[in-house]
Structure 1
């Protein structure tokens, strides 16, 4: 079986976004690593103000799928959050499940 595990880059709000996704999908994080949890690399070191930002996070969203993400450290520049070129496909087993997830993800968004 082929699975797709989307990975989203954030400009410092990954934790807020993933707490929202966690509330919609009703699952616990499989992993959460902050920048302070990894050794610093002198060639591409993150700033101390980013110590609590998310280096890597994974949330199970199905039987074999994870939604993954991270905060982009400042030395790498900002992510363009206004682009509409990327999509995330979520496959479900019923219309009721699709409606529940769609309605949850739609809160506060543009449809």
Structure 2
């Protein structure tokens, strides 16, 4: 089973995924723009809207891809809630690093221009842990076990 994360942005998907690719490496396995869609009757997209990301996927490892898109209000249904940046208050992506150096690298890179809730530090559960929101409004947690710790 694969468990992937899908992020929505409003005009920032390309910048966000270029940023994430600089941290995680690799190449996009998919990148489609709204302008790549077949013409649809009644859907008139501006040149700016056509340049936005319809879907992008960045493989992180053989089991995980980070995916995303720019929300386009013209394609939303009446039941779709309006996009509000950073409104995913109770959803975070958790990265489990296997080495302290990697945990530090991920924290320093992903938190650039973001808001740190808890800096990377040792915890009572025997791990290095950090919580923060990146510059694109996505919440992250990093956890790196320092020793065998049972619950």
TM-score bin (small chain):
0.7 to 0.9
- Is 2:104 the partner of 1:104? no
Whichever structure has more helix as a proportion of its residues is: 1
The 2-side partners of 1:5 and 1:46 are apart by: 31
Does structure 2 retain, via aligned residues, the 8 Å contact 1:55–1:71? yes
Greater length-normalized contact order (CA 8 Å, ≥ 6 residues apart): 1
Ranges in structure 1 where 5+ consecutive residues have no aligned partner: none
Larger Rg computed on CA atoms = 2
SS in 1 for 2:69: strand
The equivalent of 2:66 in structure 1 is 67
Query: Normalising to structure 1: TM-score of the pair?
Result: 0.85
- Matched residue SS, 1:39: coil
More strand by share: 2
Contact 1:47–1:74 (8 Å) recurs in 2 = no
- Partners of 1:81 and 1:87 in 2: CA distance: 14
CA drift of 1:78 comes to: 4.2
Report what 2:3 is aligned to. Answer: 4
- Kindly report the root-mean-square deviation, in angstroms, between the aligned alpha carbons of the 2 structures: 1.9
